[in-house]
């Protein structure tokens, strides 16, 4: 199985972090709270983020129905753009796609987004659709792993992965929790797609040698959403950086050991960034340098945390800017609600 190409799409509405923070200070309407927002957002190490809508449009979204409708419109545009780029880069026609794995955790639609894009993009009517919801930040890695599972049984097959996250449309101005104050300074909007092909397909790419999923029992409240009439309300525990630092490294070592490898043999690390504390915790736990996770830090600074789409954007950047030699080993990893993690062993 191989990842033949990755495509990305960011909304055209791009703002620096200070502009977004000051907008939120005014929107919350509490200067004392505003000072806390400024302090928290200065520590995110994020320079810019992209939003699905112009900043002035958010005041007009007064309920979940309006926010979700805006999500559906923007998600279709970004999703189509990411898929078209990925297919073009892979040299694969839309009618060659056998299955599509679609993930989001920031909007709801039935029929799901993949169904709404099927005719628009020229996918076959018999394409297998697997919409995924609830995996959050781990979904980019998990969807690629599940796509690899599919093409393992279909050696000439093509599986398409699409992740669309429009985190700005989950804005909760009535939530004054620390988790929400952090999240409104951390998450951004974007989409990413990957083309995964079977071992007998003509398209070249990075080989997926193995995958592993890990679930940590009794951690369901560490990360996720409280979903109700209000829409999506963030659940984000202060435990996440410590989980990244202490739980992920032994899991990585066990995963590599099962395939006769050690951590020091990994040349490329494609790690979902989470936030600066999560990424720093992961970096410390794995004993990595800033350069090892350079693409993760850069994507965080330039676009924020894009939930499921982030790890694919980091993979795209790694493929574009950090070419590896034949035989080099890489690890792609992400964490998400559950609490859980997903690992892919890659070889160039």
Q: What is the pLDDT of residues 54-64, one digit of tens each?
A: 999 998 998 99
Given this model, what pLDDT does residue 256 score?
Answer: 97
Whether the domain at 2-197 and the domain at 206-347 fall into the same CATH topology:
yes
**Has residue 98 got a pLDDT over 80?**
yes
- To which residue do tokens 């919350």 refer? 28
Are the beta carbons of 295 and 314 closer than 8 angstroms? yes
In terms of average pLDDT, the best of 81-95, 222-236, 322-336 is 81-95
The catalytically annotated residue of 137, 163, 167, 295 is 137
Instruction: Give tens-digit pLDDT for 215-250.
Output: 988 877 777 777 888 888 788 777 788 888 888 999
Higher-pLDDT residue of 224 and 111 is 111
Asked if residue 82 has a cis previous peptide bond (ω within 30° of 0), the answer is no
Is 295 considered catalytic here? no
Instruction: Give tens-digit pLDDT for 250-292.
Output: 999 999 999 999 999 999 999 998 899 999 999 999 999 999 9
Q: Which CATH architecture has domain 206-347?
A: 3-Layer(aba) Sandwich (3.40)
Q: Please give, one letter per residue, the 3-state secondary structure of the chain.
A: CEEEEEEEECCCEEEEHHHHHHHHHHHHCCHHHHHHHHHHHHCCCCCEEEECCCHHHHHHCCCHHHHHHHHHHHHHHHHHHHHHHHHHHHCCCHHHCCEEEEEECCCCCCCCHHHHHHHHHCCCCCCEEEEEECCHHHHHHHHHHHHHHHHHCCCCCEEEEEEEEEHHHHCCCCCCCHHHHHHCCCECEEEEEEEEECCCCCCCCEEEEEEEEEECCCCCCCEEEEEECCEEEEEECCCHHHHHHHCHHHHHHHHHHCCCCCHHHEEEEEECCCCHHHHHHHHHHHCCCCCCCHHHHHHHHHHCECHHHHHHHHHHHHHHHCCCCCCCEEEEEEEECCCEEEEEEEEC
- To which residue do tokens 């599919």 refer? 150
Given this model, what pLDDT does residue 129 score?
Answer: 97
**Has residue 328 got a pLDDT over 80?**
yes
Instruction: Write the class of the CATH domain 2-197.
Output: alpha beta
Instruction: Give tens-digit pLDDT for 124-141.
Output: 999 999 999 989 999 999
Given this model, what pLDDT does residue 299 score?
Answer: 96
Q: CA nearest 139: which of 281, 279, 337?
A: 337
> What Rg do the C-alpha atoms of the chain give, in angstroms?
19
Strand 128-133, strand 99-104: pairing: parallel
- To which residue do tokens 């990842």 refer? 3
Return the half-sphere exposure (C-beta side, CA atoms, 13 A cut-off) of residue 197.
Answer: 21
Given this model, what pLDDT does residue 192 score?
Answer: 98
Q: Is 202 exposed, middle or buried (0-12, 13-18, 19+ CB in 10 A)?
A: exposed
Given this model, what pLDDT does residue 322 score?
Answer: 87
Given this model, what pLDDT does residue 220 score?
Answer: 78
Instruction: Give tens-digit pLDDT for 143-186.
Output: 999 999 999 999 999 999 999 999 999 998 888 888 888 889 99
Higher-pLDDT residue of 76 and 337 is 76
Q: Whole-prediction pTM value?
A: 0.94
Query: Can you tell me the distance from the alpha carbon of 83 to that of 92, in angstroms, rounded to the nearest whole number?
Result: 11
Given this model, what pLDDT does residue 87 score?
Answer: 98
Given this model, what pLDDT does residue 217 score?
Answer: 87
155 contact partners, CB below 8 Å, separation of at least 6: 198, 199, 200, 201
Confidence of residue 203 (pLDDT cuts 50, 70, 90): very high
For the chain, which residues make up each domain, given as ranges? 2-197, 206-347
Given this model, what pLDDT does residue 229 score?
Answer: 82
Are the beta carbons of 54 and 193 closer than 8 angstroms? no
- Alpha carbon distances (Å) from 212 to 128, 145, 260, 271, 346: 23, 8, 15, 15, 12
Tokens of 253: 């070592």
Given this model, what pLDDT does residue 263 score?
Answer: 95
Higher-pLDDT residue of 329 and 173 is 329
Q: CA nearest 104: which of 79, 138, 136?
A: 136
Instruction: Give tens-digit pLDDT for 8-49.
Output: 999 999 999 999 999 999 988 888 888 888 988 988 899 999
Given this model, what pLDDT does residue 226 score?
Answer: 78
Q: CA nearest 221: which of 242, 236, 241?
A: 236
Instruction: Give tens-digit pLDDT for 188-200.
Output: 999 999 999 999 9
- Alpha carbon distances (Å) from 81 to 77, 288, 309, 320: 6, 34, 14, 18
């Amino acid at each position: 199985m191989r990842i033949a190409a990755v495509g990305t799409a960011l909304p055209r509405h791009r703002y620096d972090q200070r502009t977004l923070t000051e907008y939120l200070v005014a929107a919350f309407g509490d200067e004392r709270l505003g000072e806390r927002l400024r302090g928290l957002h200065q520590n995110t190490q994020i320079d810019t983020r992209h939003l699905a809508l112009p900043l002035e449009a958010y005041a007009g979204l007064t309920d979940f129905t309006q926010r979700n409708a805006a999500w559906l419109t923007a998600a279709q545009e970004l999703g189509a753009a990411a898929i078209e780029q990925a297919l073009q880069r892979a040299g694969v026609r839309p009618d060659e796609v056998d299955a599509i794995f679609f993930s989001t955790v920031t909007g709801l639609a039935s029929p799901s987004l993949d169904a709404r894009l099927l005719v628009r993009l020229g996918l076959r009517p018999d394409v297998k659709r697997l919409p995924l919801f609830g995996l959050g930040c781990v979904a980019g890695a998990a969807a690629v792993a599940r796509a690899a599972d599919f093409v393992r049984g279909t050696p000439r097959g093509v599986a398409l992965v699409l992740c669309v996250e429009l985190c700005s449309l989950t804005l909760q101005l009535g939530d004054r929790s620390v988790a929400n104050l952090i999240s409104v300074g951390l998450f951004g909007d974007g989409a990413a797609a990957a083309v995964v092909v079977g071992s007998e397909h003509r398209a070249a790419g990075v080989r997926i040698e193995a995958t592993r999923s890990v679930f940590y029992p009794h951690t369901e409240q560490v990360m996720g959403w409280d979903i109700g009439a209000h829409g999506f309300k963030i659940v984000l525990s202060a435990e996440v950086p410590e989980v990244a630092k202490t739980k992920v490294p032994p899991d990585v070592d066990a995963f590599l050991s099962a395939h006769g490898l050690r951590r020091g043999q990994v040349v490329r690390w494609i790690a979902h960034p989470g936030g600066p504390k999560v990424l720093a915790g992961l970096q410390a736990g794995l004993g990595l340098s800033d350069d090892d996770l350079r693409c993760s830090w850069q994507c965080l600074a330039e676009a924020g945390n894009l939930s499921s789409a982030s790890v694919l954007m980091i993979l795209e950047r790694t493929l574009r800017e950090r070419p590896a030699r034949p035989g080099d080993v890489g690890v792609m990893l992400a964490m998400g609600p559950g609490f859980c993690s997903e690992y892919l062993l890659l070889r160039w």
